[in-house]
Amino acid sequence: MNISFLEKDLAHMENLRLRRSLKRVDSPQGREIVLNGQRVLNFSSNDYLGLANDARIKHAALEAIQRYGLGAGASRLICGNMTPHEKLEAELAIFKNTESALVFSSGYMANTGIISALMGRDDIVLSDKLNHASIIDGIILSRAQLQRYPHVDMQALEEILKNRKGYKHKLIVTDTVFSMDGDKAPLKEIVDLARRYEAMVMVDEAHAMGVLGAQGGGRVEELGLQGQVDIQMGTLSKAVGCCGAYMCGTQILREYLINKSREFIYTTAMPPALAQAACVALQIIRQDNQLRRQLKDNADYLHKKLKTMGFDTMNSTTPIIPLLVKDPGRAVAFSQHLLKQGIFVQAIRPPTVPVNTARLRLTVTAAHTRRDLDQLLQALRTI
Ligand SMILES: *Cc1c(COP(=O)(O)O)cnc(C)c1O
């Protein structure tokens, strides 16, 4: 076997400044991490509420390990369905105000597993152009017609709904907070269009869960759209500080996915300790408004300061704040420049974002202090 083409491909990526490599962290997640041996202020994680290293959640996990061991040993349908999984699903259904919930091992698997189970060859899926890669992959797996619409463009979405006829089922799917841009989907308008054109709606709340809504229920809660979105997907890996993902919806939807979703059926159940930990994290998120307020204050402060400094933060209104650079080489150089001053902000390049929109993607959390933010701003002034 001759695999020399791999080396050529990598060299090509290198030339375009698009080759990626891993960095090693030797500390818990938090406002500060040890990155490649250097202690740095961290503005790149999705641990929005600082829960990934929270003592209460770690304690819950340790206790569950004592009681249930570590691995689940089998898939949910064989003998891996343990009490903590069902407790977590009950907690999620309460949290999201839905009939039921179903947990998946990751957000990637939830999106591919939900979409590919529900949609098929005779169907069409309308997907925002900036939706997460796992949504696109789910549509491709489903063999349904993939129809992207321009980012948050409701007129374009309506045109497509009007003109593309003859499909058995229609699904509109959207991130509620866009992961690389930090802007929000016009969900109310999407729900209205879906009703008018008899389409289903699925949302991906990965970056809204725990962040938006009075109790942290996400964009659906923020807009009071409970009961009007057919399929609510979200992750336990970002603000919830754990790992895994969920689908919240009707009991029938849950039953259907248990029977049809290959990503649910053909994989080992999530470790029970993780389910137990996520359960405790959800309770904290629901009860602790102060955490969410702190996060919003931090995000608002940075938005305001960055604007007056003249940065192009695109249309972000959330803790995800892009600093548009455009050229991938420059984005990497800026990131390295900040790193020298003890600040980590990841450069994001194509194909994760469209060509000519390379950026620094900065994320702020509830754990950051005002001093951390000022230190970041000071470093950004030297770019
Ligand atoms: C992170 C993310 C996912 C994937 O979730 P994981 O739990 O990390 O696999 C899915 N959708 C969106 C919008 C995301 O940002």
What was the pLDDT predicted at 272? 98
φ/ψ of 348, rounded to 5, equals -115, 125
CA of 364 to the centre of ligand 1 (A): 17
Closest CA to ligand 1's atom 5:
107
Length of the chain equals: 383
Q: State the sign of the Cα–Cα–Cα–Cα dihedral 193, 194, 195, 196.
A: positive
CATH number (3.90.1150.10, 3.30.1640.10, 3.40.50.720, 1.10.10.10) of 15-44+289-382 reads: 3.90.1150.10
pTM (2 d.p.): 0.97
| Both structure tokens of 145 | 């017609």
CA of residue 235 to ligand 1 center, whole Å: 6
Q: Tell how far the Cα of 107 is from the centroid of ligand 1, in angstroms.
A: 5
Distance CA 101, CA 209 (A): 15
* CA dist 328 → 23, 179, 331, 356 (Å): 18, 18, 5, 8
Tokens in use for 372?
Answer: 């951390």
Out of 235, 236, 243, mutate this one to test ligand 1's pocket (max ligand atoms within 8 Å of CB): namely: 235
Residues 238/206, Cβ–Cβ less than 8 Å: yes
Cβ-count burial of 32 within 10 angstroms (0-12 exposed, 13-18 middle, 19+ buried)? middle
Q: Measured from the CA of 235, which atom of ligand 1 is nearest?
A: 7
- Nearest-atom index, ligand 1, CA of 109: 9
Give the ligand 1 atom nearest the CA of 46: 1
Beta-carbon count within 10 A of 293 CB? 11
Residues 6+ apart with CB under 8 A from 366: 48, 49, 50, 291, 292, 294, 295, 298
Hey, what CATH topology would domain 55-287 get?
Answer: Aspartate Aminotransferase; domain 2 (3.40.640)
Nearest in space to 303 (alpha carbons), one of 312, 290, 294, 293: 312
Q: Which of 45, 128, 134 to mutate to test the pocket of ligand 1 (most atoms within 8 A of CB)?
A: 134
**Per-residue confidence (pLDDT) for residue 18, from 0 to 100:** 87
Residues 319/330, Cβ–Cβ less than 8 Å? no
3-state SS assignment for residue 146: strand
Residues 6+ apart with CB under 8 A from 376: 41, 43, 302, 343, 345, 362
Sheet bearing 343-344, strands edge to edge: 32-35, 38-42, 343-344
The whole-number pLDDT of residue 2 equals 82
Closest ligand 1 atom, CA of 108?
Answer: 9
Catalytic residues: 179, 207, 238
Q: What is the distance in A from the centroid of ligand 1 to the CA of 204?
A: 8
The C-alpha atoms of residue 230 and residue 233 are separated, in whole angstroms, by: 10
Q: What is the pLDDT of residue 1?
A: 64
Nearest-atom number in ligand 1 for the CA of 245 is 7
Judge contact between 325 and 315, C-beta under 8 A: no
Q: Give 84 Cα–ligand 1 centroid separation in angstroms.
A: 22
Please list every protein residue whose CB sits less than 6 Å from any atom of ligand 1: 106-108, 111, 132, 134, 175, 179, 204, 206-207, 235, 237, 245
Tokens in use for 200? 């289903």
Which pLDDT does position 177 carry in this prediction? Answer: 98
DSSP string, 179-218: TTT--B--HHHHHHHHHHTT-EEEEE-TTTTTTSSTTS--
Q: Domain locations in the chain?
A: 15-44+289-382, 55-287
Dihedral sign from CA coordinates of 17, 21, 25, 30? positive
CB 86 within 8 A of CB 270: no
Three-state DSSP at 224 gives coil
Q: What is the pLDDT along the chain (383 residues), one digit of tens a residue?
A: 688 899 999 999 999 888 999 999 999 999 999 999 999 999 999 999 999 999 999 999 999 999 999 999 999 999 999 999 999 999 999 999 999 999 999 999 999 999 999 999 999 999 999 999 999 999 999 999 999 999 999 999 999 999 998 999 999 999 999 999 999 999 999 999 999 999 999 999 999 999 999 999 999 999 999 999 999 999 999 999 999 999 999 999 999 999 999 999 999 999 999 999 999 999 999 999 999 999 999 999 999 999 999 999 999 999 999 999 999 999 999 999 999 999 999 999 999 999 999 999 999 999 999 999 999 999 999 98
Which pair of tokens denotes residue 295?
């996060």
Distance (angstroms) between ligand 1 centre and the Cα of 166 equals 32
